[in-house]
Amino acid sequence: YGAGMALGRKVLRSNPQVNVFHRGFVACDSYSHGEQAIAAVQCPVLFALGTQDQMTAPKAAQGLIQAARSADKDVQIVHLPVGHHQMTEAPDATLFAIRDFLARRISA
């Protein structure tokens, strides 16, 4: 608990001239080519969505999910009962979702 906050403070202290979080948020918010980029993906796609995520709400992924399906990608969606920090909030559920996703592809 608190690892994400500690990491955030460390990152901010590492470069006091530039707010790297703000710069990263702006870059993420202004990126607009996800639907086109997913067409180039050559492997199955797992969408592990946090049902309580307030930074990237599950509904925000719907356009990308639809674009992946429209491009005939092998898509799996998993809804995890967590917020934005899935690996910290529910490490086992996140690990099992990835494990099951990979196992299904290996056995196919």
What are the tokens at 44? 């199955």
What global pTM score does this model have? 0.81
Query: Alpha-carbon distance 73 to 50, whole Å?
Result: 21
Model confidence band, residue 1 (pLDDT cutoffs 50, 70, 90): low
Rounded to the nearest 5°, which phi and psi values hold at 80?
-105, 140
CATH superfamily of 34-107: Alpha/Beta hydrolase fold, catalytic domain (3.40.50.1820)
Above 90 in pLDDT, residue 4? Answer: no
Domain coordinates of the chain in residue numbers? 1-31, 34-107
Distance of alpha carbon 93 from alpha carbon 49, whole angstroms: 11
pLDDT per position as a tens digit, 62-80: 999 999 999 999 999 999 9
Q: d(Cα 38, Cα 103) in Å, to the nearest integer?
A: 22
Residues 50, 41: Cα–Cα separation, whole Å: 22
Choice among 79-83, 84-88, 97-101 with the minimum mean pLDDT? 84-88
